Amino acid sequence: MLAGDNLESLCSEARTFLVCMATALDGASEKCKEAYYASDRLTEELFDNGISFVDEICDEEVIEAIRSHFDCLWDEEVYRSVRKCKLPNIDKDCSYLETETSSSEVNACYQEKYFPNCDADDVVSCSSEAVASACDDDDAGELVELIGNSFYDKFPICPDNKQLKTLLKFFK
C-alpha cells in the first residue's frame, strides 16, 4: 500500500509536470508549435485533458478509494484480466509464424493480437466487472469505472489507431 502522502504527492507532481509542459509549449516558437501540432505529439488539448484528468482522480474521495483498494488493484492477475478487456486477442499465439511465414503474415498476426477493443464503454464495463469480481468488492469495480470513464472521455481509446495502455496502468 502507498505509505503516507505518496498518492497526494504523485497527484501534485503529475499536475505540476503537466502545467510545466503546457507552459513550455505555450512559450515555444511558432515553428516548434507547428512541428509538434503537425505531428500530433503535443497539443494544448492533450495537456488540458491531462490536467483535467489528474484533477478528477486526485479528488480526496478518489484518493481514499484508491488507497482502500490498492492491494487488490496492484495484483498481476487483476491487471491481466483488465488488459484482456482492452486487448481481447492478447492471448493469440503468433510465435509459430516467426520462422515459417513471411514478415507480412507475422505483422498481421501481431496487429490482430494487439488491436484494442475501441468501444470505451465496453472496455470500462468489462474492466469494472473484472476488478469487482477479482477483488470481491463492487466498490473497487466502481472505482475503475469512474477512472476509466474519466480517462476515455478525455483520451479516446482508439484515436487515429493509436493504442493506449489499459486502465490499471494508473496503479502500476
Structural domain of 36: 1-58
Residues 110 and 46 in one domain: no
Q: Is the predicted pLDDT of residue 118 greater than 70, yes or no?
A: yes
Residues 87 and 40 in one domain: no
Buried b (16+ CB within 10 A) or exposed e, 79-116: bebbbbbbbbbeeeebeebeeeeeeeebeebbeeeeeb
Contacts (Cβ under 8 Å, ≥6 apart) of 91: 84
Q: Where are the beta strands (DSSP E) in 36-170?
A: none
Q: What is the pLDDT of residue 31?
A: 86
Asked whether residue 63 is domain-assigned, the answer is no
Structurally, how many domains does the chain consist of? Answer: 2
Asked whether residue 11 is domain-assigned, the answer is yes
Q: What is the pLDDT of residue 163?
A: 43
Q: What is the pLDDT of residues 38-69, one digit of tens each?
A: 666 677 888 899 999 999 999 999 999 999 99
| 55 or 170: which leads in pLDDT | 55
Please state which of the ranges 38-52, 69-83, 137-151 shows the lowest mean pLDDT: 38-52
Q: What is the pLDDT of residues 83-116, one digit of tens each?
A: 999 999 999 998 888 776 678 888 889 999 999 9
Residues 42 and 124 in one domain: no
pTM over 0.85? The answer is no
Q: pLDDT exceeding 90 applies to what percent of the chain? A: 52
Asked whether residue 79 is domain-assigned, the answer is yes
Q: pLDDT exceeding 70 applies to what percent of the chain? A: 86
Q: What is the dihedral of CA 83, 88, 91, 96, to 10 degrees?
A: -130
d(C-alpha 154, C-alpha 168), whole Å: 16
Identity of residue 74: W
Residues 77 and 49 in one domain: no
CA-wise closest residue to 169 among 53, 82, 52 = 82
Grid coordinates representing 63 are 484518493
Residue entry with cell 505555450 = 26
Q: What is the pLDDT of residue 127?
A: 95
Mean predicted confidence (pLDDT) in 5-12: 88
Average of per-residue pLDDT values in the chain: 85
Domain end position, chosen among 58, 86, 103: 58
